Amino acid sequence: MQAQEPLTVLIAEDSAADRLLLSTIVRRQGHEVLTASNGAEAVDTFERQHPDLVLMDAMMPVMDGFEAARQIKALAGEALVPIIFLTSLTESEALARCLEAGGDDFLAKPYNQVILAAKIKAMDRLRRLQATVLQQRDLIAKHHDYLLNEQRVAKAVFDKVAHSGCLSAPSIRYLQSPYALFNGDLLLAAYTPAGDMHVMLGDFTGHGLPAAVGAMPLAEVFYGMTAKGYGLAETLREMNAKLKRILPVDMFCCATLLCLSFQRRSVEVWNGGMPDGYLHRMASGERVPLPARHLPLGILSAQAFDDRTDVYPMAVDDRVFLLSDGVIDTCDANDQLFGVERLQQVFAANREPDRLFEDIEQALRDFRGQARDDVSMVEVSLLESAQTQGPASAYPESGPSCPLDWSASFEFRGATLRRFNPLPFLLQLLLEVHGLRSQSGALYSVLAELYSNALEHGVLGLDSSLKRDAAGFARYYELRGARLASLQDGFVRVHLQVQPQGEGGCLVIRVEDSGKGFDVARIMERPLDTVRLSGRGISLVRQLGRNASWSDQGRSASVEFFWEIEA
């Protein structure tokens, strides 16, 4: 016989002879024995000495076994204290009463010690099983609390990072569970120094902390590079390389990145593995799908990664709508997917564009009957806005050693122009001059315009008049990609000259290119106008900088910035 741990057994029996006999049997089986001669004594003894198991006579004076069993079960709470009724009862109704009162088993008189030993053993097994279940339940609850607390802390830290962006901008509406991070959903938005807006909706594989862990470095890259003036392509490359390096192979991040430019009236899109986004043109009501053209971030090596973006013209008040797969992958009771078609039916039925989220949520509820917590949606409008300044605190003060009298020249040649974006580097250099920091937005915008004019119209020889309509717009960016990819010769030169002047200083930017130039006089005759799709760059430069001029048949552009010493 397997050795059994001794139990404390309470015997409640009014007949002295039976009590003596039973005590002796149970003691001989190696257990501690407590005795009571009626139900009230049994309850009292139970309260004081917490026996592991009770042998209970049904018929006893003062308080019968049924009532005593009920009280003992109530006192025991969640722990299982098995009660074996001692009975010579034969009617099934009386036996049923024993079970109803909380009894777990019966033992008939006359006692059989072999059966009694077997029953005590079986009840002890149950008792231990219950104790184990309770212990594990408590452990699970403890772990769960621990996990929730960890998530709270992680979320608080993450919110500090994520909310350094501009998700609260008036042009953005979004809907996300507060714990979306732990579903792997990630929504980020920030202004570039030129006032464009970068938006990212990401979806990491997996759930819980593993899904959230990649979000932190991704957000850092997104905000850091956006603030420094990097474009989508460079930011995407950096994100991809970082995730590739830090994530295990089965983890990656589907993502759509947008760059909305009010100045260019355009939206640039990169979609890697996310559901189609939609560009909603308010004038025509048309919804242009923005499909995934790439693998998610964190899969491909740097060499194989494709950072090509699509650019679409966008009018003021047009909207871009992005969503996570939680929307279209919502299942109903029969495992049917909500799907893209139902989403498009919601689009078609939508009468108030501002209530699109609510309509979609309602459709999901109607479809499934309950809400999911991994549904993320974001809608960004192109709003008429004042020139937005970049984040003022992006560059730490570098002390009094501010350079005030210098010049520098750069020449970026074919192979470099194909891949490298020199603007963040140039901007960072210029922002070493403290007096220019307050104009960093205008400075970056002008620099970006002059550089892209020199590259696109000069070196690549693209005709800006192509961009007059949507089709030409697409053609323009197609040509740009193709010509850039095969670029061998050509250059863009950037000359920077900083000089003290009076109480402040002056910056002269001159950008030259190897292109054919253009008819300066004809362009300069146009009125200052920022609303046209083509030829806008020159107007912008003239508005934001001073003394803008073009020479060498348009191949050389010059513009100046001034500042006063602040008191």
Partner 1 sequence: MTDPHVDRDVLDTLREVMEDGYQELLETFLADSESRLHELQATTSAKALSDVAHSFKGSASNMGAVRLAALCQDLESNAKDKSPETLAQLVAEIHGEFANVRSVYEDEKLHVHTH
Choice between 36 and 509, CB closer to partner 1: 36
Choice between 29 and 261, CB closer to partner 1: 29
Choice between 111 and 367, CB closer to partner 1: 111
CA distance 237 to 421: 12
CA distance 446 to 195: 11
CB of 2 to partner 1, least distance (A): 21
What x/- string results for residues 538 through 567 when contact with partner 1 is judged by CB under 8 A? ------------------------------
Cβ atoms of residues 164 and 226 within 8 Å? no
Choice between 114 and 567, CB closer to partner 1: 114
CB of 23 to partner 1, least distance (A): 9
CA distance 168 to 374: 21
Among 110, 178, 399, 527, binds partner 1 (CB under 8 A): 110
3-state secondary structure of 188: strand
CA distance 17 to 193: 96
Q: Of 27, 30, 17, 60, whose CA–CA distance to 42 is shortest?
A: 60
Q: 214 to 273, contacts with partner 1 by CB under 8 A? A: none
Sign of the four-CA dihedral 310, 315, 316, 317? negative
Q: 43 to 62, contacts with partner 1 by CB under 8 A? A: 57, 59
| Structure-token pair, residue 545 | 């900088």
Choice between 37 and 376, CB closer to partner 1: 37
CB of 35 to partner 1, least distance (A): 13
CA distance 214 to 419: 26
Q: 68 to 107, contacts with partner 1 by CB under 8 A? A: 86, 88
Stretch touching partner 1 by CB under 8 A, among 8-16, 31-39, 68-76, 99-107: 8-16
CB of 129 to partner 1, least distance (A): 30
Q: 303: burial class by Cβ within 10 Å (0-12, 13-18, 19+)? A: exposed
Choice between 65 and 490, CB closer to partner 1: 65
CB of 147 to partner 1, least distance (A): 55
Choice between 59 and 95, CB closer to partner 1: 59
CB of 87 to partner 1, least distance (A): 8
Q: 136: burial class by Cβ within 10 Å (0-12, 13-18, 19+)? A: exposed
41 in contact with partner 1 (CB under 8 A): no
Sign of the four-CA dihedral 330, 333, 335, 341? negative
Choice between 38 and 261, CB closer to partner 1: 38
Phi and psi based region of residue 482 (left: phi greater than 0; alpha: psi -120 to 50; beta: remaining): alpha
CB of 37 to partner 1, least distance (A): 11
Choice between 19 and 510, CB closer to partner 1: 19
CA 397 to chain centre: 32
Among 44, 50, 95, 111, binds partner 1 (CB under 8 A): 111
CB of 109 to partner 1, least distance (A): 5
Stretch touching partner 1 by CB under 8 A, among 9-17, 415-423, 459-467, 507-515: 9-17
Q: 10 to 39, contacts with partner 1 by CB under 8 A? A: 14-18, 20-21, 24-25, 28
CB of 13 to partner 1, least distance (A): 9
| Exposure b/e, 19-35, CB count within 10 A at least 16 = b | bebbbebbeebebebbb
CB of 18 to partner 1, least distance (A): 5
Q: 104: burial class by Cβ within 10 Å (0-12, 13-18, 19+)? A: buried
DSSP state string for 437-473: HTTHHHHHHHHHHHHHIIIIIIIS---GGGGGSHHHH
3-state secondary structure of 491: strand
Which residue ranges make up the site for partner 1 (CB under 8 A)? 14-18, 20-21, 24-25, 28, 57, 59, 86, 88, 109-111, 113
